Amino acid sequence: MQPINIYTFVHDTVLQKNDRHLKYLFFDIFTPQLSKMTGRSVNVVFLRNIPDITNFDYLSFSDNRLDIEPVIEALSTAIKAVFAAYMAEHRRAGKPADLYLILIDGLLMPSLGVEGLAIPEANIAIATTLGRTVVAHEIGHCLGATHEDVALYREPERNDPSHCATFMATGREEGACSIFSFSSENYANIKQHLKKAP
């Protein structure tokens, strides 16, 4: 089976320069489980100083806009074009299990509070370092995971009305806990998605 390769383009905004630290914080919370559940090795490759990608001006797409759909469409189109040029220049063919991530510091769309974006049809994602689960969430989208198949759990011993949630949760309340895992339903979605990458 093809390995899952996560090519991680570290944006110039990322202050952390130690790739092992980035891997520990944002990838080690989900890649071992992903490997175990899919039977595939998962490789994370960090890339820096790649013109047009690691200096991509994502902030210019969300300045003072209130409607998210046109922003996402324009941003997605621009990112796909940048990666198409990169792939052509480096003579790389896209493989179904190759994922391309731009890792940023700060919000992707500050005026809209957006932390990340996935473009599943192109296997491209952008994720912030502001939250430990954002990378897993956006990579999950590229692998077929959905918001609808999130799993929520309560902590009865604390009588806490908020939920603990798996990676694909959205709109989590401030201070709500995270279960560092995909739900069993989303693991099934990911396995189904990867059937096109034998």
> What pLDDT score was predicted for residue 10?
98
User: Of all residues in the chain, what percent carry a pLDDT higher than 90?
Assistant: 63
> What pLDDT score was predicted for residue 91?
86
Reported pTM: 0.90
The predicted model gives 13-20 an average pLDDT of 93
> What pLDDT score was predicted for residue 196?
84
Domains of the chain (ranges; CATH) run: 4-147+183-196 (3.40.390.10)
Q: b/e for 83-94, b at 16 or more Cβ within 10 A? A: beebeeeeeeee
Q: First and final CA of the chain: distance in angstroms?
A: 5
pLDDT tens for each residue of 153-190: 655 555 555 567 888 888 666 666 788 899 999 999 99
Distance CA 17, CA 197 (A): 32
Is 27 a residue whose pLDDT tops 70?
A: yes
Lowest mean pLDDT among 14-23, 78-87, 168-177, 185-194: 168-177
> What pLDDT score was predicted for residue 53?
97
Q: Are 127 and 115 in contact (CB under 8 A)?
A: yes
What backbone phi and psi angles, to 5 degrees, belong to 23? -60, -45
Lowest mean pLDDT among 31-35, 42-46, 96-100, 106-110: 106-110
pLDDT tens for each residue of 141-153: 999 999 888 877 6
DSSP 22-85: HHHHHTTTTHHHHHHHHTS-EEEEEE---TTTTT--GGGGSTT---HHHHHHHHHHHHHHHHHH
Distance CA 138, CA 4 (A): 15
Distance CA 60, CA 120 (A): 22
Q: Are 8 and 52 in contact (CB under 8 A)?
A: no
Distance CA 38, CA 93 (A): 23
Distance CA 58, CA 37 (A): 33
Mean pLDDT of the chain: 89
